[in-house]
């Protein structure tokens, strides 16, 4: 049983169901539609979908493809990562509304008779017997209750995981110097367009990230941790003025922000469990490690957790019991990518974001950006770190349909 119908939970369920394992997914919401969630699908995830024969169908969803990420400073435009330098056919990031991605995964998993999805069913307690987790108790929106017994329960229910708290697993907190205000800026006619599909704009005391979502820019404005009330108290007019200092020429887009109701808060967390499992219970994705938004790698890491778990667990689940040593293997396999990624994020937070948001000195262009601009071949390094990550995983099960290699090769040549 998988608790949580996010990227980690649905990818795991899809892979296990295709491998002949009976899977039940509990998703507490009645649908997948929640705005301002991670929308970035990385080349490593595209490669995984390609190995399953699903990449072409996925790329038929409305999406944007971004071949380069850049940063605009007061001194000009700099390329941070060039995904065209990656190996393989998927040399780009895709931005897809997460509800479309999740609906796609659920639809593909539903093609298997081994998959069952219960929407509007919230896991509220673990079932235990003889020191082992044997399933969960859940409630529905109409107040009904039920129980599901399982050879293995996987908690993929996000950074505020209820099952993690229920299991009593300790969380190691690392903190973050910032929170993020999320909002949309429409692409107004005649407005100046940022030079990259994904771009960071920084100046003294301010940092804004724009992601091309076709008709609008998904925007993330970073503020110092705990100062959101101060930003709101200064008024929406002051907030729009700050944005225009970062986005000259986009007056019409910024003017579309008419209310604080158009702006959402993402409270940034960075943490991980020291232990990801108990007998009969495994945690993956954000339930095991909440990631900073730096690099946009949270969805990618969760998907890779799911791929590793599916490969290692499937033979044992089919036997009816998963020994704790096998759950520990999943933890050992995925803890290195988690630790390395979080250390990089912490380094960026401490050495760059914290100092920038303090605003006590001019925002000089980081030396690494100058180096990447001078030697473009080096732009492939951050592209690999962001796009493929540490220890990317592969699918265990064979595709239902053979991928069209010619079409993939043609796409990779663009």
DSSP string, 275-319: --EETTEEE-GGGTEE--SGGG-HHHHHHHHHHHHHHHHHHHHHH
- The predicted pLDDT at position 190 comes to 64
Q: Are residues 34 and 160 in the same domain?
A: yes
Beta carbons within 10 angstroms of residue 39's beta carbon = 22
- The predicted pLDDT at position 195 comes to 65
Rg (CA), the chain: 22
Q: Are residues 128 and 232 in the same domain?
A: no
In a domain, 384, yes or no: no
Collapse the DSSP code of 126 into the 3-class scheme (helix H, G, I; strand E, B; otherwise coil) and give the result.
strand
Judge whether 341 and 291 are in contact, CB under 8 Å: yes
- Where is 254: in which H helix or E strand? helix 251-254
In a domain, 369, yes or no: no
Q: Which of 302, 179, 289 is nearest to 231 (CA)?
A: 179
- The predicted pLDDT at position 363 comes to 67
Q: Are residues 32 and 44 in the same domain?
A: yes
In a domain, 75, yes or no: no
Q: Are residues 27 and 112 in the same domain?
A: yes
What angle, 0 to 180 degrees and rounded to 10, lies between the N-to-C axes of helices 298-319 and 43-51?
30
Measured on CA atoms in the order 392, 395, 400, 401, is the torsion positive or negative? positive
In a domain, 70, yes or no: no
What angle, 0 to 180 degrees and rounded to 10, lies between the N-to-C axes of helices 298-319 and 7-18?
40
* pLDDT per residue as tens, the chain (414 positions): 999 999 999 999 999 999 999 999 999 998 887 665 668 899 999 999 999 999 999 999 999 898 999 888 888 888 999 999 999 999 999 988 888 999 999 999 999 999 999 999 999 999 999 999 999 999 998 889 999 999 999 999 998 899 999 999 989 999 899 999 999 999 877 666 666 666 788 887 888 988 888 788 889 999 999 899 999 999 999 999 999 988 888 888 999 999 999 999 988 989 999 999 999 999 999 999 999 988 888 899 999 999 999 999 999 998 888 999 999 999 999 999 999 999 999 999 998 888 888 876 666 778 888 999 999 999 999 999 999 999 999 986 544 433 333 334 434 433
Judge whether 365 and 73 are in contact, CB under 8 Å: yes
Judge whether 356 and 363 are in contact, CB under 8 Å: yes
In a domain, 86, yes or no: no
Q: Are residues 46 and 141 in the same domain?
A: yes
Q: Are residues 208 and 314 in the same domain?
A: no
Spatial distance between the Cα atoms of 196 and 198, rounded to a whole number of angstroms: 5
Q: Are residues 189 and 321 in the same domain?
A: no
Q: Maximum CA pair distance of the chain?
A: 67
In a domain, 370, yes or no: no
Q: Are residues 112 and 27 in the same domain?
A: yes
Spatial distance between the Cα atoms of 96 and 63, rounded to a whole number of angstroms: 5
Q: Give the length of the chain.
A: 414
Strand order in the sheet with 2-3: 115-119, 23-27, 2-3, 153-155, 281-283, 277-278
Residues 6+ apart with CB under 8 A from 325: none
In a domain, 253, yes or no: yes
Phi and psi at residue 232, in whole multiples of 5°?
-70, -40
Provide the CATH number for the domain around residue 320: 3.50.50.60
Q: Are residues 184 and 116 in the same domain?
A: no
Residues 6+ apart with CB under 8 A from 139: 121, 122, 124, 145, 146
The domain tally of the chain equals 2
83: Cα separation from own chain's centroid? 18
Q: Are residues 36 and 182 in the same domain?
A: no
Q: Are residues 349 and 325 in the same domain?
A: yes
Q: Are residues 214 and 118 in the same domain?
A: no
Cα–Cα distance list, 252 to 161, 193, 199, 206, 257 (Å): 40, 12, 19, 21, 10
Q: Can you give the pTM of this predicted structure?
A: 0.90
172 CB-contact burial (10 Å; exposed 0-12 / middle 13-18 / buried 19+): exposed
- For residue 43, give its domain range: 2-63+96-174+270-357+391-412
In a domain, 372, yes or no: no
Provide the CATH number for the domain around residue 211: 3.30.9.100
Collapse the DSSP code of 101 into the 3-class scheme (helix H, G, I; strand E, B; otherwise coil) and give the result.
helix
């Amino acid at each position: 049983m998988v608790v949580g119908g996010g990227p980690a939970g649905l990818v795991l369920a899809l892979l296990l169901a295709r491998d002949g394992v009976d899977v039940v997914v509990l998703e507490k919401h009645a649908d997948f539609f929640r705005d301002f969630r991670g929308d970035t699908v990385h080349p490593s995830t595209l490669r995984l979908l390609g190995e399953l024969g699903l990449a072409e169908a996925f790329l038929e969803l409305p999406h944007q493809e971004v071949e380069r990420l850049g940063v605009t400073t007061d001194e000009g435009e700099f390329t941070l990562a060039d995904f065209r330098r990656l190996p393989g056919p998927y040399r780009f990031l895709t931005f897809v509304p997460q509800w479309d991605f999740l609906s796609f995964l659920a639809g593909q998993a539903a093609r298997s008779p081994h998959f069952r999805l219960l929407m509007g069913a919230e896991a509220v307690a673990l079932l235990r017997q003889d020191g082992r987790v044997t399933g969960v108790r859940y409630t529905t929106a109409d107040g009904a209750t039920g129980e599901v017994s399982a050879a293995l329960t996987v908690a993929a229910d996000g950074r505020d995981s209820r099952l993690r708290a229920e299991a009593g697993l300790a969380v190691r907190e690392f903190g973050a110097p910032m929170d993020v205000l999320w909002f949309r800026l429409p692409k107004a006619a005649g407005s100046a367009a940022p030079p990259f599909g994904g771009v960071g704009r920084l100046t003294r005391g301010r940092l804004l990230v724009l992601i091309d979502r076709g008709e609008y820019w998904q925007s993330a404005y970073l503020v110092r941790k705990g100062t959101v009330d101060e930003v709101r108290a200064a008024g929406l007019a002051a907030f729009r003025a700050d944005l225009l200092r970062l986005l000259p020429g986009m007056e019409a887009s910024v003017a579309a922000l008419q209310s604080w109701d158009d702006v959402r808060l993402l409270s940034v967390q960075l943490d991980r469990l020291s232990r990801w499992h108990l007998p009969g219970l495994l945690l993956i994705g954000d339930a095991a490690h909440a990631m900073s938004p730096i690099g946009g790698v949270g969805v990618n890491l969760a998907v890779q957790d799911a791929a590793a778990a599916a490969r290692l667990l499937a033979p044992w689940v089919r036997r009816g019991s998963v020994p704790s040593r096998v759950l520990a293997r999943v933890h050992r396999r995925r803890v290195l990518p988690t630790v390395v990624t979080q250390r990089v994020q912490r380094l960026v937070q401490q050495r760059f974001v914290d100092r920038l948001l303090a605003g006590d000195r001019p925002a000089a262009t980081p030396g690494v950006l100058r180096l990447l601009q001078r030697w473009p071949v080096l732009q492939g390094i951050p592209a690999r770190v962001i796009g493929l990550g540490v220890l990317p995983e592969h699918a265990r099960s064979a595709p239902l349909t053979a991928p069209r290699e010619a079409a993939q090769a043609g796409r990779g040549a663009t």
